[in-house]
Structure 1
């Protein structure tokens, strides 16, 4: 029977009942009970005779303040959006490589880019597919599970794993088997007052927990504010939207490229004429055979089914818009009827339009789920990650559900032979982790009618230097080239499946920025992978930002900067645009360059509210005066 107790009582009992070395597992992302974890962490840090190993992923922390202009921008925003969110004590110590000697933290996925310079985080990273995480954590000797949960007055005898049934539901049978063999393994839960109660597979009886913290956590839930969607991302989303097939299945990830795809699908559904005119102007129909065979550009008559390890905000927006509405069912016979078109969906109470493993999103996402009726939430089934990320186990049912699946994931680099890079730098340092990307790429090949689509920006700019994200070679890959399928950049679509190396190279050159095409052609020819007389198709010789920006200007209504809404004020949107421009153009350490930029700045009267927001309306001293002039230059350069 579950025991209600305070956080300190739970810590006392955990220390009393478990051996000297505690192996604690926590969910990926949002579902960590930070208050309990911090209490246990602090206690064990003072007990050198004890040891603690934490197994988790995506430990969430507020954005790093930095200094200068970045700090002035972030400080008020972080206070407003993140409020009293309790930071994880171990995360702060990871950043400074100052974990206590008796505590280790192993993650299989990290907040992207946040721990590149942490030796302890890098050394204790576990490279593992998301679908293997439960297996690996259990094998490491897990003896404590700690999880944030949701409660409902309508279901007083049950709790919901809400945002994170993903690994826990896979772990529980393993834990039960070990308990039957005599091992002591404890499960601690804490209810969060604002966590949406997700019914369905995520619901558990109270007896699944050994301890339940008696005081609800009412601190601010961690959120991921929607970031601006730039022109590159919008064009990537437009191309990808043409490959999504009506009546099919959709998986997308978090971030601005996923938001751009959502925006394009919304336009395809609700503003189809304008959407098609834009596609014509973009000359997308040079890929007409592929689009006709794999996707479409018409509004969705049958709708989509969402099957995604992460239930992202974009999927919820698509569901609210009536695009994600194709329901799937938990048994083969009913699903076969649905596929044949002989099922009355309205008469079936157990239809699901989205399967998700975990969720994390902006504040509006949590609020929307909270406001839904219980019946509506039943359509979004949060479940075990093994169900979503793998085909084995109920394979016949999954194949019937996952019709014409499009698994759309982002990469940071693609090699000219088709390998994808998403998780790690070539020096070995991990940016994030493989997560479930391999799982979905593999499904893209294993499922009939499915495609795996990697999306990336063809180029990047940092401190005034422009580089190609399509390269001849790279010292690491997340997705090996033998699993290449479709790659999309802002310049178009490369269908690589079943192609020779020369054809793969040509297809990727066609979607490469024209500033880098000649060098890449030379490298491929030098390696003997392209004929010496190879000539780039003239249609792709004008792959330039200028051409895309001209198209954007002609169809500006279909390029919203924040298609899914934002937590930023009007002034903050302008400031963010200006700060990103400064970061892309200059190295802030090069004072001479910065001074040159400041010479082109307008007078302060042009942007009074923006300067006030950054506390630069009355600069004091040379440094603040330079900050003001730089900011004004950025605001002028990026003004709409």
Structure 2
């Protein structure tokens, strides 16, 4: 019988007794961490310097930390409502303060975006790795404990949200290549996912289970979808073939792609009209029909919008009885609840697998090639160069924003599979007004995907098909999807480098790439309710949803004192935005700062 514990401290003692005072602890990325087990081991190492704890993981989840007073007023209650009760990971608290003692090491190969930019120790211990290589690097470090959150059904346990690396490690252990303890912490909010991660209890050396170690799952709220993301989403949806395969990640752009696919399926007339309005190249081909055969998903991350695609009848092509094979999942609470409450025969259509089977085609290559027909791998980048390189994980000074993850894996698959394409998406611009900056650059000192693997790049202004193009034609296509405010400077740089002929002029059709044109192009779809801010549900209440566009305008004006003052001035004669000021605690401002904030909110609400 697998020993069961209700006290994490007692379990920590049992782990140390079994493996000794050098613990190499492997933790799944994201949701699947056994937080109480980890924290108990950290506490032991803090008390006893003779214990050396080496943590290897990725995507340590932490609630967002609002920066401005207005953000705190808006996000504070939402964070408490959606993420309250999630136990903080002790090593993350120490790492963020650069306070890890010498006997505790933390190596990560993917950061929660932006959370470790100002943490030197985390930057130093970051490992740049493809997702598929992480298990091998953990084995090289001598992993002797893997601690994972699991779901329970009778005498069976499911790896649920994180089959990804754990299944690869277990395969190595069965082959006699490694010997480690698999420790489980039972969480009753996790859905029991059938498939390869459905294990007998005796696959685990120890289990932590009891009412005192239950906790609510980390459930980030949905992001509203701005115009630029919707434009990107509709463009990308036009590239997907019926009967094909799809992969995508989390965030507003992925939600926009999913909504674009649903509109295409249900309202192909509106879909075609929207894409034509968005694209100045009226001759561009657009896939427009509904999905008769449907799509199959082979995706490292099972995101909730893929469940919405299944509900809409878009995700329905089956491979081995499944419409989706995924490596891990993370999403809002409604997503976890939907999986928990789904009839077992339906839940079996969503199979979780080892990351080696999702992110690569090797091992069972013939079957994977047959399954992943007409694949479209949709991933996001922060920036891209005119020569087609993508910058997705880090800055030019070497600091890491997030990580490579599986992006390279899917780009490589796009070139290895017949009929497949890699689609890199990004907004053409970040910021607004005088703070606006182009995300399309002549060059950048850091790259995630090199230019020789350029394929398809999509911004709100259109699609650039770059595969096999000359440098000159690559630049010309990238200029056509850049924001017009930055096109002249970009073109000048290309000409100075001799990559574009001196007499080249950007065609008239591409010289009106502006946010205003995108807003106008999307207006019919917005007015028809086919491009809502939150198409797949929300953790925001009605008042908060009403405040989203107001706060969006104020955020866009940050750093522009004249724009902010204009909102304050306008607010002097503007009515209060419903219950918005009460929700923000600004209904009866007491300080000068609160009075200015209240006026700015009034002005932004007035438009």
**TM surpasses 0.5:** yes
Taking structure 2 as the reference length, the TM-score comes to 0.96
Residue 203 of structure 1 is matched in structure 2 by 198
| Aligned CA distance change for structure 1 residues 284 and 172 (closer, same or farther; 3 Å) | farther
Residue 186 of structure 1 is matched in structure 2 by 181
| Aligned CA distance change for structure 1 residues 462 and 285 (closer, same or farther; 3 Å) | closer
Name which of 301, 304, 322 aligns with 1:313. Answer: 304
Alignment partners' CA distance in 2, 1:235 and 1:75: 30
Structure 1 SS opposite 2:502: coil
Structure 1 SS opposite 2:88: coil
Name which of 246, 249, 263 aligns with 1:250. Answer: 246
Alignment partners' CA distance in 1, 2:335 and 2:83: 15
Residue 15 of structure 1 is matched in structure 2 by 16
Superposed displacement of residue 85, structure 1: 1.1
Give the paired residue count.
603
The answer to whether the 8 A contact 1:150-1:159 is kept is yes
Superposed displacement of residue 381, structure 1: 0.5
Residues 1:2 and 2:2 aligned together = yes
Q: Deviations over 1:262-285 (max 9, x none)?
A: 010010111122222223333476
Alignment partners' CA distance in 1, 2:167 and 2:469: 40
Residue 483 of structure 1 is matched in structure 2 by 453
Unaligned runs of 5+ in 1: 330-350
The answer to whether the 8 A contact 2:222-2:534 is kept is yes
Matches within 5 A, 1:70-149: 70-149=71-150
Residues 1:405 and 2:405 aligned together = no
Q: CA RMSD in A?
A: 1.7
| Aligned CA distance change for structure 1 residues 608 and 237 (closer, same or farther; 3 Å) | closer
Matches within 5 A, 1:299-338: 299-329=290-320
Residues 1:273 and 2:245 aligned together = no
Alignment partners' CA distance in 1, 2:605 and 2:539: 20
Alignment partners' CA distance in 2, 1:482 and 1:287: 28
Name which of 167, 171, 174 aligns with 2:172. Answer: 174
Matches within 5 A, 1:234-383: 234-283=230-279, 286=282, 288-289=284-285, 291=286, 296-329=287-320, 351-383=321-353
Residue 158 of structure 1 is matched in structure 2 by 156
Superposed displacement of residue 566, structure 1: 0.9
Structure 2 SS opposite 1:514: coil
Alignment partners' CA distance in 1, 2:437 and 2:49: 49
Residue 432 of structure 1 is matched in structure 2 by 402
The answer to whether the 8 A contact 1:309-1:385 is kept is yes
Unaligned runs of 5+ in 2: none
Q: Deviations over 1:295-323 (max 9, x none)?
A: x2100010000000000111111011111
The answer to whether the 8 A contact 1:460-1:468 is kept is yes
Alignment partners' CA distance in 2, 1:604 and 1:532: 52
Q: Deviations over 1:76-105 (max 9, x none)?
A: 111111121111111122221112231111
Alignment partners' CA distance in 1, 2:42 and 2:540: 34
The answer to whether the 8 A contact 2:157-2:200 is kept is yes
Alignment partners' CA distance in 2, 1:287 and 1:201: 47
The answer to whether the 8 A contact 1:463-1:586 is kept is no
Superposed displacement of residue 20, structure 1: 1.9
Alignment partners' CA distance in 2, 1:554 and 1:215: 53
Matches within 5 A, 1:464-613: 464-556=434-526, 557=528, 558-587=530-559, 594-595=564-565, 597-603=567-573, 605-613=575-583
Structure 2 SS opposite 1:361: coil
Superposed displacement of residue 218, structure 1: 2.9
Q: Deviations over 1:604-624 (max 9, x none)?
A: 742251111111111112121
Residue 593 of structure 2 is matched in structure 1 by 623
The answer to whether the 8 A contact 1:574-1:635 is kept is no
The answer to whether the 8 A contact 1:491-1:511 is kept is yes
The answer to whether the 8 A contact 1:608-1:617 is kept is no
The answer to whether the 8 A contact 2:280-2:510 is kept is no
Structure 1 SS opposite 2:183: strand
Q: Deviations over 1:176-224 (max 9, x none)?
A: 45577xx5x2111011011000001111111110001131543111012
The answer to whether the 8 A contact 1:112-1:432 is kept is yes
| Aligned CA distance change for structure 1 residues 462 and 171 (closer, same or farther; 3 Å) | farther
The answer to whether the 8 A contact 1:491-1:513 is kept is yes
Q: Deviations over 1:381-421 (max 9, x none)?
A: 10100000011110011000000000010011010000001
Residue 339 of structure 1 is matched in structure 2 by none
The answer to whether the 8 A contact 1:138-1:174 is kept is no
Superposed displacement of residue 257, structure 1: 0.3
Taking structure 1 as the reference length, the TM-score comes to 0.91
Range 544-553 or range 29-38, more displaced? 544-553
Name which of 185, 208, 214 aligns with 1:213. Answer: 208
